[in-house]
Amino acid sequence: MPKAQQRNQASTNYQLFNNFFFNTKKFSKKNQDQKTTQHTFQSFKMMKAVAARIGLKKATRPFKDFYEEWIETLKNILLPHLRRSMLVSSANHLSTHVQMLHHHFQTYYYALDLAASEDISQLLYPTWRNTLEKPFLWFADFHPNLFINLLRSFLNQQQQDSEIIERNHEKVLKKFKTLTFPFAWNTPSDNLLSRIEQIECGLRLMVPTFVTRARKAQGGFINKVAVDWVRCEGKQEASKVIGGAVVANMEELVSVFLDANRLRRSILTEIMGATDVYQAALYLEGLANFFVGFKDCELLKEFEQYKIPI
């Protein structure tokens, strides 16, 4: 890929990242459970280390290996195929590639379910995630609010484009028509708008519930270890007490992780069911760009060099 094209792609990914970060930041300000989530995941890190020490079962294949292959397939095969199909006038051809990409995302989340059930410790504090991904993680994967933020961004952008066209009709409209499916979001259906409101309402109710469940599981683990550990005599008895607490806590955490993952999967399915084939193609292209963008070396380097003022 030419350097100029690489810079343009990096710029696009960076803009997408900024839009998502801004929307997520607004959501986080409204959600007072954010600090609790951060403390919970610090405890997850400790529990992961304890689980390793007491010899809980490990996955036969690390999830990070699957994730790397999944990203490569998304980046080098499915996303380019979708983009090529978007240039063809056949709706059936486009629909096929939309379904393939949607299936690829669903496969990812089913694999995440399996990884959580088989060895939750590899997802509690995933060191294999880079510094760009970690701020967006919520129970093993990206926050479900990102799915709806992306959809909202298309609708908001369409409204802005419509206002620009009204002010500069002839010149802008001619350029606007050269875009891929320029009027896909021009008149969103009532069903789509209703689904968006339902999803957002569900997120406001369910996200704090998951955080509360994780906090209670964490509290139970800490209380049991703190109380029983001091009463133990010798390493063998202490290991048995700690191991029992970890196993009991892991079962609840697996349940929380699976439910959180089910929420992400259902939101994506809802969006696919409420959009037409052209909207779905644009949405999945944006979602794929978001996942792939986290692996952009230039973007990652720029992010790591950025200093947040205290």
pLDDT higher for 13 or 100? 100
Question: How confident is the model at residue 285, as a pLDDT?
Answer: 96
CA distance 297 to 277: 32
User: Which residue has tokens 């209703």?
Assistant: 194
pLDDT at 31 over 90: no
Question: How confident is the model at residue 119, as a pLDDT?
Answer: 85
Instruction: Identify the CA nearest to 133 among candidates 17, 7, 287.
Output: 17
pLDDT higher for 2 or 207? 207
pTM of this structure: 0.74
Long-range interactions of 157-165: CB distance < 8 A, separation 24+: 157/185, 158/185, 158/186, 158/188, 162/186
Question: How confident is the model at residue 236, as a pLDDT?
Answer: 64
- pLDDT class for 271, splitting at 50, 70, 90? very high
Burial 152-171 (b: 16+ CB within 10 A, else e): ebbeeebeebeeebeeeeee
Q: For 56-65, 92-101, 208-217, 269-278, which range has the lowest pLDDT when averaged over its residues?
A: 56-65
Mean pLDDT (the chain, rounded): 77
Q: CB neighbours (10 Å) of residue 145?
A: 24
Question: How confident is the model at residue 49, as a pLDDT?
Answer: 46
Token pair listed for 34: 């954010």
What are the residue ranges spanned by the domains of the chain?
A: 35-45+58-180+189-299
Q: What is the pLDDT averaged over residues 104-124? A: 91
Q: For 113-122, 243-252, 263-272, which range has the lowest pLDDT when averaged over its residues?
A: 243-252
- Number of Cα atoms under 13 Å in the Cβ half of residue 42: 8
* Angle value at C-alpha 299, between 295 and 302, nearest 5 degrees: 135
Q: What is the pLDDT averaged over residues 52-80? A: 80
Question: How confident is the model at residue 15, as a pLDDT?
Answer: 46
Instruction: Identify the CA nearest to 286 among candidates 192, 152, 175, 88.
Output: 152
CA distance 238 to 108: 38
**Percent of the residues in the chain that have a pLDDT greater than 90, as a whole number:** 42
The gap from C-alpha 210 to its chain's centroid, in whole angstroms, comes to 16
Instruction: Identify the CA nearest to 263 among candidates 109, 153, 136.
Output: 109
Which tens digits make up the pLDDT trace of 158-196? 665 555 445 555 554 454 444 577 778 888 899 999 999
Helix (H, G, I), strand (E, B) or coil at 230: coil
CA distance 120 to 114: 9
The gap from C-alpha 252 to its chain's centroid, in whole angstroms, comes to 22
Which element (helix H / strand E) includes 142?
Answer: strand 141-142
List C-alpha distances in Å: 3 to 8, 12, 133, 299.
9, 14, 25, 14
Which tens digits make up the pLDDT trace of 98-108? 999 999 999 99
